[in-house]
Amino acid sequence: MNDPLQTLQQALQEATLTGMPFGKYGPQNYPPHGVPLSDLPFEYLQWFQQRGFPSGRLGELLELVLRIKRDGAEEVFSALRGGQQPHNLRQPRRRKWEFQ
């Protein structure tokens, strides 16, 4: 019989280690493996919820990450990252302007 807590822990670890295999946050834009599922923006995950998650394990993991982020429990991923910061997906802000 599977322990639900152990199953959840394995799924969380898998979501932290698995990179997004396609799309805006896939390996084409974030080589070599894409952005880890746990670091995907909440809005991107909501888009998948509205359009339908991919089938299979990837869809299950994306839905799990969405629920965790929606509930404000993102800190569970911090321990699994081993102290590393999540991917910074935002463009750097422009700090200097020149007016003519």
**23 class by beta-carbon count within 10 Å (0-12 exposed, 13-18 middle, 19+ buried):** middle
| pLDDT at 85 exceeding the cut of 70 | no
Contacts 24+ apart (CB under 8 A), 70-74: 70/42
* pLDDT tens per residue across span 20-70: 999 999 999 888 999 999 999 999 999 999 999 999 999 999 999 999 999
Annotated domain spans of the chain: 4-80
**Which position has the token pair 């809005």?**
43
**Amino acid in the structure at residue 56:** G
Q: Say what the pLDDT of residue 46 is.
A: 96
